[in-house]
Amino acid sequence: MLSNVVKDKIIAIVTKENYEDSKTERLVYSYDSTPNLQAMPDAVVSPRNTEEISKILKICNEFNVPIVPRGSGTNLCGGTCPVEGGIVLLLKHMYKILEIDEENLTITVQPGVITLDLMKAVEAKGLFYPPDPGSMKISTIAGNISENAGGLRGLKYGVTRDYVIGLEVVLPNGDIIRTGGKLAKDVAGYDLTRLMVGSEGTLGVITEATLKLLPMPETKKTMLALYSDLESAAKTVSKIIANKIIPITLEFLDQPTIKVVEAHAKIGLPTDAKAVLLIEQDGPPEVVERDIEKIIKICKEQNAVSVQVASTEAEAESLRTARRTALSALARLKPTTILEDATVPRSEIARMVNAINDIAKKYKLEICTFGHAGDGNLHPTCPTDARNHEEMERVENAFAEIFDKAIEFGGTITGEHGVGVMKAPYLEWKLGKEGVAAMKAIKQSFDPNNIMNPGKVFAKQTRKRVVITK
Q: By the criterion CB under 8 A, which residues form the site for other proteins?
A: 22-25, 27-35, 72-74, 90, 92-93, 114, 135, 137-139, 327-328, 331-332, 335-337, 385-387
Q: Given the complex with other proteins, which of 76 and 196 has the nearer CB atom?
A: 76
Residue closer to other proteins by CB (options 238, 336) is: 336
Min dist. Cβ of residue 63 to other proteins (A) = 25
Q: Supply the minimum distance, in Å, between the C-beta of residue 64 and other proteins.
A: 26
Which residue, 74 or 146, has its beta carbon nearer to other proteins?
74
Residue 327 CB, nearest approach to other proteins (Å): 6
Q: Other CB atoms closer than 10 Å to residue 128's CB: what's the count?
A: 17
Shortest spacing between CB 326 and other proteins, in angstroms:
10
User: Sign of dihedral through CA atoms 362, 323, 31, 56?
Assistant: positive
* Nearer of residues 90 and 395 to other proteins, judged by Cβ: 90
Based on its alpha-carbon atoms, the radius of gyration of the chain, rounded to whole angstroms, reads 23
Q: What 8-state DSSP symbol labels residue 452?
A: B
Minimum distance of other proteins from residue 137's CB (angstroms): 5
Q: How far is the CB of 226 from other proteins (least distance, A)?
A: 24
Burial of residue 136 (CB within 10 Å: 0-12, 13-18, 19+) is buried
- Nearest residue (CB) to other proteins, 309 versus 331: 331
Distance from C-alpha of 120 to C-alpha of 265, rounded to nearest angstrom: 27
Cα distance between residue 267 and residue 74, in whole Å? 28
Q: Which residues are registered as beta bridge partners of 84? A: none
Q: Write out the H or E segment, with its range, that includes residue 313.
A: helix 313-331
> 426-433 contacts: CB < 8 A, separation 24 or more?
426/400, 426/464, 427/457, 427/458, 427/459, 429/403, 429/404
CB of 150 to other proteins, least distance (A): 16
> What whole-number distance in Å separates Cα of residue 430 and Cα of residue 413?
7
Give the CA angle between residues 131, 134, 138 to the nearest 5°: 95
Q: Smaller CB distance to other proteins: residue 332 or 361?
A: 332
Contact, 127 vs 161, CB < 8 A? no
Separation CA 100–CA 118 (nearest Å): 10
Q: How far is the CB of 417 from other proteins (least distance, A)?
A: 13
Distance, in Å, from the CA atom of 13 to the CA atom of 18, rounded to the nearest integer, reads 9
Which residue number, 253 or 436, has a Cβ lying nearer to other proteins?
253
Task: Indicate the helix (H) or strand (E) that contains 411.
Answer: none
Work out how close the CB of 330 gets to other proteins at its nearest, in angstroms, rounded to a whole number: 9
- Quick one: 196 or 368, whose CB is closer to other proteins? 368
- Give the nearer residue to other proteins in terms of CB position, either 112 or 374: 112
